[in-house]
Amino acid sequence: MAQIRDQWTSRAGFILAAVGSAIGLGNIWRYPYTVYEHGGGAFLIPYFVALLTAGIPLLLLEYAMGHKNRGSAPLAYHKLSKKWEWLGWWQAVVAFLISSYYVIILAWAMSYTWYSVGTQWGQDTEKFFLDQYLGVAQTNGFWDFGGLQLSVVIPLVIIWAFIYFVMRQQAHKGIERLTRIVMPVLLVLMVIITLRGVTLEGATTGLNALLTPDFGALMDPNVWVAAYGQVFFSLSVGFATMITYASYLKKTDDLANSGLICALANSGFEFMAALGVFGALGFLAVQSGVDVQEVVGGGIGLAFIVFPKIISQLPWLNSLFGVIFFGTLVIAGLTSIVSLVEPVVSAVRDKLGLARTTAVNWICGISFLISILYATKGGINYLDLVDHFVNTYGLLFGTILMTLVTAWFTRKVGDLQNHINEVSDVHIGNWWIFCVKYMTPVMLIIITGVHIWEEWLAPYGGFPQSAIWGMGWGALLAALITGIIFQRIEWKTIDQSLRDKEGA
C-alpha cells in the first residue's frame, strides 16, 4: 500500500531545509583552513570552477532523482534499476553512521556554550578539552574505552531528546519549522561573529594571511583536488539527504533555481565564516607575538582549543562572544543532523511501510546507543577514525557510483535532465550532462585515489591496524552488507503499477 508522502509547505521551506543541511560545522572550521593552505585568495578560482562543474551538477542530479521518483534514496535507485537499490541503502547507512558521531560534537558545543560564561576552560585550553572535559588522559591505548564521560553524556541526551522531538513530526512540521526559525538566527549570529572578528586588533594580519593570493598555487594539482573536495563535502551530496528532501517538493516546484540558491548560499556562508575566523586568528597571533601560521588550525582543534584561547583574550564581553560562537556551532549542527536522520527514516518507512513514529523510534534509538561509544573517555579517537573512513570513502564511493549508475549503467541522465527542465525556469543544457558523465566522476575518482594513496603510505592518524580494519573499513563493510540485506526485503509501499512494470 502506497503511503501519503510528506510535503514541504512551500519551495522556500525546502530551500531553507536544504541550505540548513549544507551549512554545518565544516563551513566554519574546515573551509577557512582549506583556503589558507591552498593559495589564499587564488583558491577561489578552482573553488568556483569546482562549484560549477561538480557541486551544482551533483545537487541537481540528486534533486532530480528524488523529485522525479517521489521517494527516498533506495526507492529512487530501485525505480532507476532494481539491481542498484543497494546503493541507495549504502548512502542512507552512511548518513546514519555519521549522525551517530556528529551528535557528539553538538554535545561538546553545547557544553562549551555554558563553559563560555566566565571562560571556565582556564589558560590551558588543550588540557581542559582533552583531559578534563573528554577524559582522554584516563585511557591507555586505542581499545581502552575508559568508561562513560558524564560531562559529555548529559548534553548528548539533551541533544538527542531535541532531535527526537523534531523527527517525530512530519517533515513540514518538524524539519521545516526548525529551519524557518533557526536559519535566520544562524545568519545573524554569523554576521555578529564576522563583524567582531574583522574589527579586532590584528584582524588585518589574519585577513591578509587568508586572502593574499598565491597564483602559483594554481599550478599545483593538489590545490584543485582540495577545491573539488571542499565543494563536494560541504554541499550534503552523497548522504541521500537531497534525494529525500527533493521528494517532498510539489510536482511543479522549480529545481534548477533551488539548486543555484542552495549552492551559492552555502558558499556565501562559508566565505563569511572564513573572514570572521581569520580575523580572530590574526588577533590571537598579535596577542601572542607570533605569526598567523603558528595559530592556524582546522577542525575540532580550531573550535575547542584555539577559539577558547581567542575568547579568553578578548578585551570586552568575551563570555558573550563565546556563547554566540558555540551557540552558532550548535544551531549549524542541528540543521545538519536532522538532515542526516531524515533520509534513513524515509528509507525505512518506504521499504517496510512503517508509521513515522515507529521508524523514528527505531532509528533514533539505535543511533543513540551507538553514539554512547563516542561519549566514552576514548570516544574522540573512535570519532576521528570512523569519521575519516565513513565521511571520506563512504561518500566518495557512493557518489562516484551514483554518477556512473545514472549516466552510464542505466543511461537515465537524459531523462533526469528533461525532468529538471520541465519544472524549472532556467533550463540546463548539455554542459550538465557532460559534467555528470565525465567531469564530476573523474574528479571524484582522482580525489579517492589521492586518499587511498595516503592510506597506503601511512596508517591514518597512527592508529593500529586492528582499529583501521575493525572500525574504519569495517564500518564501510557494514554499510554494504546492510544495503544488500535490505535490497532483498520486499517493498511494502510500491504501488501496483510499478510492480506490474517490474514483472513485465
Range of the domain at 82: 11-492
What is the C-alpha to C-alpha distance for residues 437 and 430, in angstroms, rounded to an integer? Answer: 10
Q: Tell me whether residue 499 is in a domain.
A: no
Helix (H) / strand (E) element for 465: namely: helix 465-467
Cell digits for 113? Answer: 556554550
pTM, rounded to two decimals: 0.94
Read off the pLDDT of residues 421-476 as tens digits, 9 standing for 90 and up.
Answer: 999 999 999 999 999 999 999 999 999 999 999 889 888 888 999 999 999 999 99
CA dist list (Å): 289 to 119, 206, 244, 282, 292: 22, 13, 50, 10, 9
Cell digits for 64? Answer: 532530480
Contact 138, 146 (CB under 8 A): yes
What is the C-alpha to C-alpha distance for residues 442 and 438, in angstroms, rounded to an integer? Answer: 6
Map residue 146 onto helix, strand or coil: coil
CA dist list (Å): 96 to 16, 104, 172, 359, 366: 22, 14, 21, 13, 10
Rg (CA), the chain: 22
Q: How many domains does the chain contain in total?
A: 1
Q: Tell me whether residue 145 is in a domain.
A: yes
What is the C-alpha to C-alpha distance for residues 495 and 488, in angstroms, rounded to an integer? Answer: 18
DSSP letter at 148? B
CATH code, 395? 1.20.1740
pLDDT the model gives residue 140: 85
Q: Mean pLDDT by 10-residue block, N- to C-terminus, for the chain (504 residues)?
A: 79 95 91 92 95 96 97 97 97 97 96 95 94 90 90 97 96 93 95 94 94 93 91 92 97 96 96 95 92 84 91 91 95 96 97 96 98 96 94 95 97 97 95 96 94 90 91 95 96 63 46
Q: Tell me whether residue 503 is in a domain.
A: no
Contact 283, 310 (CB under 8 A): yes
Give the closest residue to 6 by CA, choosing from 211, 250, 202: 250
Q: Tell me whether residue 179 is in a domain.
A: yes
Q: Tell me whether residue 342 is in a domain.
A: yes
pLDDT the model gives residue 137: 81
Q: Tell me whether residue 157 is in a domain.
A: yes
Question: Residue holding cell 579586532?
Answer: 200
Between vectors from CA 345 to CA 340 and to CA 351, what angle results, nearest 5°? 135
Q: Tell me whether residue 394 is in a domain.
A: yes
Interaxial angle between packed helices 150-168 and 356-374, expressed in degrees from 0 to 180 and rounded to the nearest 10: 160
Between vectors from CA 301 to CA 296 and to CA 306, what angle results, nearest 5°? 60
pLDDT the model gives residue 2: 54
* CB-based burial label for 180 (10 Å; 0-12, 13-18, 19+): middle
Secondary structure of 265-321 in the HEC alphabet? HHHHHHHHHHHHHHHHHHHHHHHHCCCHHHCCCCCHHHHHHHHHHHHHHCCCCHHHH
Euclidean distance between the first and the last CA atom of the chain, given in angstroms as a whole number: 20
Q: Tell me whether residue 111 is in a domain.
A: yes
What is the C-alpha to C-alpha distance for residues 354 and 441, in angstroms, rounded to an integer? Answer: 35
What is the C-alpha to C-alpha distance for residues 161 and 305, in angstroms, rounded to an integer? Answer: 27
Map residue 10 onto helix, strand or coil: coil
